[in-house]
Structure 1
Amino acid sequence: MRLLVTHARLIAVPAGTDDPGYIEEGWMLVGDDGRIAAIGAGDPPVGTTADEILDAGGSFVAPGFVSSHSHLFTSGLRGLGVAETLYGWCDAMLGTTAHMTADDVYWSTLHGALDFLSNGVTTAYNFTDPLQSWESMVDGKRVGDARMRELDYHTRQADATRDAGIRFVDSIGMDVTVGSDDEIFARFAASVAHTRAMDPDFALGASIMGQVQWSPREEAAWLEVEAMRRYGVTNQAHFLESPEAVEHQRSKFAQYRDAGALGLGLVFGHFIQTTPEIIDEAVAGGAAMSWQPASNGRLASGTAQVPEMLAKGMKVGIGLDDQACTDVSDPWQNMRMGIYQQRARLQDPLAMMPEQVLRLHTLGAAEIMGVADRVGSLEVGKLADFVVVDPRRPDVGPLWHPVRSYVLAMSPRNLTRVYVGGVLVDDRGTSSNPLAAEASARLHESLAEVARRRPTHPH
């Protein structure tokens, strides 16, 4: 079905320039294939036809947000570990998921993906809950002997993400302390094959959930690098996040460097407790970074040196992390927190500008995920994933600088519609997904049962 959007304040965020590509009044045509067929200023050319016309009426039309770091299975676990930093929060949150079944995690993931869509996030790098359940950290270390779950615990998470209708990169833990090396690779390969059998317009790729930071196995980085090469997958590692056991965390950087992960495009998630030397080596090696401002503040992890990393040439994208540590999946709040943190840290309003942070949460995130050829901006040939945001409902006043107002003054209360591939998936917070009501009911029912299975209450 062809869709024609008219009378839109377009923010295209095009590749190859820092210009946000703002058009005060423009139009966009979506083809039958769900991709952008044409886009321009003013009125569409005479003779342009479509099956449906969306008159934006002066609303912003901008790319759907891309979250370069997400855990969609955590949607029902908000409010846990509020008085804790990372490891204590993980005990509360992942200590709960350790008692989930494959069916439980399916509905929790589906609920989380629909929640992202309802807040304008149309693509997510999704860390699935690993097959090996959580075990508490002691002095920043773990033993690696926690219980393993069956393969369907992962595949059901991938199924749920696809069923929600969000585009995603499926990130899979290798759990390298369980089984022989051949068994580890075979297990990982089975998960990758499941994801790659899905519609490639939605399952945009498979990736490794880098676990070197957590793993007691010295060969963990080498195994991950071998999997990257053998299966042609990317890798994003939670790294240098928490202020605990910092020297132990930093010592793991050499493992990734020496294994050759940097040159394969490793992405560091969080990357807060760094040193100038680590940043320089990461940039020189070709690594990228995913920044989670709201999560980093919520867990008292600290503030990443993002302006310095960008100045050195590191590619950076922004992620919402998960609902259990961002609480509200609000990309506008996430962008503003990032701006405020950097300006306060450096006492410089130019440290982070609205146009820049918008790019990091759309095209920049898509770039470090390896999917910028398909999503992240409104350009001809790309998938037509976009949000419609009304600056008059509620009215924020005159738009002295429209793009800056879009970042600084908009929120989900202004979000009226979300489209994926030119198809309406959420209308003012109401999902069009036929599983939405069941996902909500199942989440409440299943998590009550999970809490009963747990020896101690998550609080």
Structure 2
Amino acid sequence: MTELLVHGATLLTVDPERPDPFVGWFSVGDDGRITAVEPGEPTPEQLAQAAEVLDAGGTIIGPGFVSAHSHLFTSGSRGLGMDSTLYGWIEAMLRYVLPASPEDMYWCTRHGAQDFLRNGITTAYDFTDGGLQFDPSIASFGDRIPSLDRQHAQLRAKTDAGLRSLHSVMLAQGHVPRADALAHVEETVGAAADADPSLLLGVAVSGAVQWAPTPDTAALETEVMRRYGLVNQAHFLETAEMLDLQRSKFAWYADSGALSPQLVFGHFIQTTPEIIATAAAAGCAMSWQPMSNGRLASGVASIPEIRAAGMRVGMGLDDQSCTDVADPWNNMRTGIALLRAQYKDPTAAPVGDVLMMHTRGGAEALGVDGDVGSLRVGRYADFCVVDPRRPDTGPVWDAVGTYVLACSLRNLRSVWVGGKAVAHGADLVDPQAGEVESQVHERLARIAADLGG
């Protein structure tokens, strides 16, 4: 049965097999997946057979955005470390995160998840916090097992909010027994088995070689990737600090056998031509976070060279406390501006390509493009309804150009996940949305008071 039929909009399907844009319609089945996408108007019979009809005339509809690199638990820590690079910002942010209980982490993560949904981001690769202390003097997160209770709380929060995600967990670093680390993964995978499979798209590894003291971390991550078939996204070559040390650790991943389509490099800014060529030849992907990279003065990733080498590239909103406003339109425009200014070439960042990277490209990088990232038959009906007339952006000469360059959160009329509305403007459908906000304010105020402000 057709649960929803949407018609009248200009569609940006981001389907590589058909040209965008076109005025058309699509239908959604009872499993929340798209059953048809066609140009023109549906027949009266097709309209009559739909349980719900959305007349989206005058709007532009694109796929829900994919944030290929996110830290949802930081949603209550925005505006901190405002004039710092990566490691100074981490210290400022973790001041209020480390004392948090698993229940505090639940509410902060759910706050981040609903913020994503409100802003048109329907799928996220989410790096969870395991309660590890960061030591900036040696750039390490320590040598103990992350907290399972904290990670499980963050998993519940995302699914309770209705956000699709890959749930990424950091493994032990340093001198933790291998058996203990593997048991940690077993428990994480076991907890994930009870989650809604339509929302939890998989468990993943938070690659930590950038902060590891020995190659053992790379060997452990590679073993887990192979044993459980998990994607591993590694924060790597993000900051210009300790650059020679960072680059030397690329060999740890290469020597361990981690370089493969399952390995995604997060940030990947301070690269060399040799590193790019080796990663591309192995089928690795990367995630690009332009707003975060600019905010933290990390630099500008060599996206044209990386794409030319054949790497899959997605885009992410990163920490909500270093992107501050989780706005995919601003993220796209920031990326376009940074690349064009850096290369002094408008073709360094074609507008249509950037939209693709923040939707289907992110899904391809993470290996979930069979479920999300485009408006195609068989994919979940996750989409954004954008009205370029409210407020008015002027004539629509090119729908892709208007959507990416002229529209913003103020034009976002509604957000849909699996053919169900989750937000209308800034208002979430979730009846607990207000409680989530109250819980975050109350809990973080308590933590701040305990710390003396």
Task: Give the counterpart letter for 1:37 in structure 2.
Answer: T
Task: Give the counterpart letter for 1:43 in structure 2.
Answer: E
Distance in 1 of aligned mates of 2:147 and 2:13: 43
Distance in 1 of aligned mates of 2:9 and 2:429: 23
SS, match of residue 209 in structure 2:
coil
What does the per-residue CA deviation read over 1:8-31, in whole Å, with 9 as the maximum and x for residues that have no partner?
Answer: 1111000357x4x211x2111111
Partner of 2:109: 109
Partner of 1:135: 134
Task: Give the counterpart letter for 2:336 in structure 1.
Answer: I
What does the per-residue CA deviation read over 1:310-348, in whole Å, with 9 as the maximum and x for residues that have no partner?
Answer: 011111000011210111010000000000100000000
Q: CA deviation at 1:217?
A: 3.2
Correspondences of 1:40-79 after superposition (within 5 Å): 40-48=38-46, 49-79=49-79
Contact 1:130 1:175 in 2 (8 A): no
Q: CA deviation at 1:149?
A: 5.8
CA RMSD in angstroms comes to: 1.4
Distance in 2 of aligned mates of 1:143 and 1:5: 48
Distance in 2 of aligned mates of 1:68 and 1:424: 22
Distance in 2 of aligned mates of 1:16 and 1:291: 25
Partner of 2:352: 355
Contact 1:81 1:93 in 2 (8 A): yes
Task: State yes or no: 1:84 paired with 2:84.
Answer: yes
Aligned match for 2:213, one of 212, 216, 219? 216
SS, match of residue 377 in structure 1:
coil
Q: CA deviation at 1:41?
A: 1.2
What does the per-residue CA deviation read over 1:284-335, in whole Å, with 9 as the maximum and x for residues that have no partner?
Answer: 1211110000000000000000011101111100001121011101000000
Distance in 1 of aligned mates of 2:175 and 2:186: 15
Aligned match for 2:153, one of 135, 153, 156? 156
SS, match of residue 144 in structure 1:
coil
Task: State yes or no: 1:438 paired with 2:435.
Answer: yes
Task: Give the counterpart letter for 2:11 in structure 1.
Answer: L
Judged with a 3 Å threshold, the aligned counterparts in structure 2 of structure 1 residues 143 and 159 are, in CA distance, closer, same or farther, namely closer
Aligned match for 1:300, one of 297, 302, 311? 297
Distance in 2 of aligned mates of 1:404 and 1:451: 44
Distance in 1 of aligned mates of 2:141 and 2:183: 23
Task: Give the counterpart letter for 1:160 in structure 2.
Answer: A
What does the per-residue CA deviation read over 1:222-248, in whole Å, with 9 as the maximum and x for residues that have no partner?
Answer: 000001111111100000001111001
Partner of 2:274: 277
Task: State yes or no: 1:419 paired with 2:416.
Answer: yes
Contact 2:174 2:216 in 1 (8 A): no
Q: CA deviation at 1:57?
A: 1.9
Task: State yes or no: 1:8 paired with 2:9.
Answer: yes
Contact 1:15 1:377 in 2 (8 A): no
Contact 1:287 1:314 in 2 (8 A): yes
SS, match of residue 54 in structure 1:
strand
Q: CA deviation at 1:181?
A: 0.7
What does the per-residue CA deviation read over 1:136-191, in whole Å, with 9 as the maximum and x for residues that have no partner?
Answer: 211x5337247x66421110000000000010000011123363110111012101
Percent identity between the two aligned chains: 51
Distance in 2 of aligned mates of 1:358 and 1:93: 30
SS, match of residue 318 in structure 2:
coil
Distance in 2 of aligned mates of 1:97 and 1:293: 24
Distance in 1 of aligned mates of 2:141 and 2:319: 25
Contact 1:335 1:407 in 2 (8 A): yes
Unaligned runs of 5+ in 1: none
Contact 1:95 1:134 in 2 (8 A): no
Partner of 2:27: 29
Contact 1:145 1:177 in 2 (8 A): yes
Distance in 1 of aligned mates of 2:396 and 2:261: 43
SS, match of residue 283 in structure 1:
helix
Task: State yes or no: 1:39 paired with 2:42.
Answer: no
Which region of structure 1 is more displaced relative to structure 2, 30-39 or 65-74? 30-39
Distance in 2 of aligned mates of 1:356 and 1:130: 35
Contact 1:99 1:453 in 2 (8 A): no
Task: Give the counterpart letter for 2:310 in structure 1.
Answer: G
Distance in 1 of aligned mates of 2:217 and 2:353: 35
Contact 1:290 1:319 in 2 (8 A): yes
Contact 1:295 1:320 in 2 (8 A): yes
Judged with a 3 Å threshold, the aligned counterparts in structure 2 of structure 1 residues 143 and 174 are, in CA distance, closer, same or farther, namely closer
Correspondences of 1:293-442 after superposition (within 5 Å): 293-442=290-439
Judged with a 3 Å threshold, the aligned counterparts in structure 2 of structure 1 residues 143 and 50 are, in CA distance, closer, same or farther, namely closer
Distance in 1 of aligned mates of 2:119 and 2:141: 38
Distance in 2 of aligned mates of 1:149 and 1:124: 21
Contact 2:355 2:404 in 1 (8 A): yes
Contact 2:143 2:172 in 1 (8 A): no
SS, match of residue 413 in structure 1:
helix
Which region of structure 1 is more displaced relative to structure 2, 38-47 or 315-324? 38-47
Contact 2:143 2:176 in 1 (8 A): no
Distance in 2 of aligned mates of 1:115 and 1:414: 16
SS, match of residue 235 in structure 1:
strand
SS, match of residue 168 in structure 2:
strand
Aligned match for 1:188, one of 180, 185, 190? 185
SS, match of residue 115 in structure 1:
helix
Task: Give the counterpart letter for 1:14 in structure 2.
Answer: D
Task: Give the counterpart letter for 1:384 in structure 2.
Answer: A
TM-score by structure 1 length?
0.95
